[in-house]
Amino acid sequence: MVNSILIKGGSISGGKKADVLIAHGLISEIAESINTSADQVIDAAGFILLPGFVDLHTHLREPGRENSETIATGSLAAARGGYVAVSAMANTLPVADNSAIVEQVAAIGKSVGLVDVFPIGAVTKNLEGRELADLGSMANSRAQVRVFSDDGNCVSDPLMMRRALEYVKQFDGVIAQHAQDPRLTEDAQMNEGIVASTLGLKGWPAVAEELIIARDILLANMVGARLHICHVTTAGGVEIIRWAKAQGMKVTAEVTPHHLLLTDELATSYDPIYKVNPPLRTQNDVDALRQGLVDGTIDIIGTDHAPHPVESKECEWQNAAFGMVGLETAFPILYTTLISTGRLSWERAIEVMSSNPAKIAGYQSHGRPLQVGEPAHIAIINPAGVLTVDRAQLASKSKNTPFHGMEFQGTVVATVFNGHLTHQGELRSGSHE
């Protein structure tokens, strides 16, 4: 059993180089040079130490869809991606709309022990949009749920949304909305635009997302509640959120790694590996999402890690499942697209990957700065490392990555969760003393 870890020579949060000693789950010392003996010593010269990542949008599929992912396999995938906390979306079978399910998910997560698994509760019973789920019971359960979402479905009834926003104020909850007007997206397959028109696939208009974002921002503002917008994908959505923040409204927003990188042109192959909800949009949208993340309009990266078995993707586009796995590739994509080019500072990267999601969800032991006395949740990054994505090598039980064969810079070489190494990749020296 490894009790103490000494990480030598890494750059702390992208700044000064220092040695970091971890003991009993906490950061016990940070100094220019530490020569105490430790159970494990990691040579982190050239590496960057960041606060461990927090995902606010993870589909772990358990209970009910263990053929796609389990809490164990999803936790391992998360650890490989530098994550120390994930938020298990409610659309399991049965749905996490009551305290029994959320407590079960949290308990399994704890027994796996690779990351903190925080269950998200459904907003409405069985995600059906007709009756509120047991929001208070879930909040008061041992899982202490604070984030509620019908993700996969939109809470489309404006009265239902208003009530949910109001109700969760009593325990400082937040509603994470999957913004998709259902009527405007019936049977929709991909972004509505010239590519969909040419391919003969039913279009998913940007406005179906934007009008729900606008509506919910106004509702949340009226009732003084916290609203989080899941996976923003359109330039118009970014603009609406920018406006709302300028008015001082309480809204936070998320973008996925895949929407920061991929466009609807990929659907030309008809390969459903590129089928995702919300859909891949245009380059103009990608540019707006990147700008929004850089300037603070968008608060966090959420993976929307959505595992699906092979047969759900090895078929015709319209019959395929929506979704992509993303935990193991999130940071390399962020590094390659925005950090390595200098557009996103390390400070901002820490916010979007760790401290902001922890703040939004109220995960108090997460997103903390790397300082003495703080919980030892650390992602160790090799900025020169190159990841060539190989779906066969993914820890996730499902292999539905759209990034297979792509090369990214900026790898997660190790993850420390609660003072324990939960992932160690290309470490140069792991000598025991």
- Interacting residue ranges for other proteins, rule: CB under 8 A: 189, 192-194, 196-203, 205, 269-271, 311, 314-319
What values do phi and psi take at 378, rounded to 5? Answer: -140, 135
CB of 180 to other proteins, least distance (A): 17
Integer CA distances (angstroms), 144 to 180, 258, 336, in order: 28, 30, 36
Residue among 402, 197, 390 nearest 280 (CA): 402
CB of 205 to other proteins, least distance (A): 8
Q: Which is nearer to other proteins, 96 or 273 (CB)?
A: 273
CA distances from 38 to 48, 51, 258, 372, 374 (A): 20, 21, 39, 17, 18
What type of residue sits at position 125?
K
- Of 192 and 285, the one with the shorter C-beta distance to other proteins is 192
CB of 405 to other proteins, least distance (A): 15
Shortest spacing between CB 188 and other proteins, in angstroms: 12
- Report yes or no: 249 and 220 within 8 Å, Cβ to Cβ: yes
- CB closer to other proteins, 287 vs 314: 314
Query: Which of 179, 259, 247 is closest to 213 using CA atoms?
Result: 179
Q: Are strands 378-388 and 300-301 parallel, antiparallel or unpaired?
A: unpaired
The structure tokens listed for 135 are 């929001």
Separation between Cα atoms, residue 156 and residue 407, nearest integer Å: 39
Give the ranges where 130-186 is alpha helix by DSSP (H): 135-140, 158-167
> Cα torsion for 349, 354, 360, 363, to the nearest 10°?
-170
**In the complex, minimum distance from the CB of residue 202 to other proteins, in angstroms, rounded to a whole number:** 8
Q: Least separation, in Å, of the C-beta of 428 and other proteins? A: 40
Distance CA 367, CA 52 (A): 7
- How many CA atoms lie within 13 Å of 260's alpha carbon, on the beta-carbon side? 27
Decide whether 194 or 386 has the Cβ nearer to other proteins: 194
Nearer to other proteins, 222 or 310 (CB): 310
User: In this structure, how many other beta carbons lie within 10 angstroms of the beta carbon of residue 284?
Assistant: 12
Which CB, 312 or 382, lies closer to other proteins? 312
Output the six-digit token pair for 144.
């202490």
Residues tagged active-site: 304
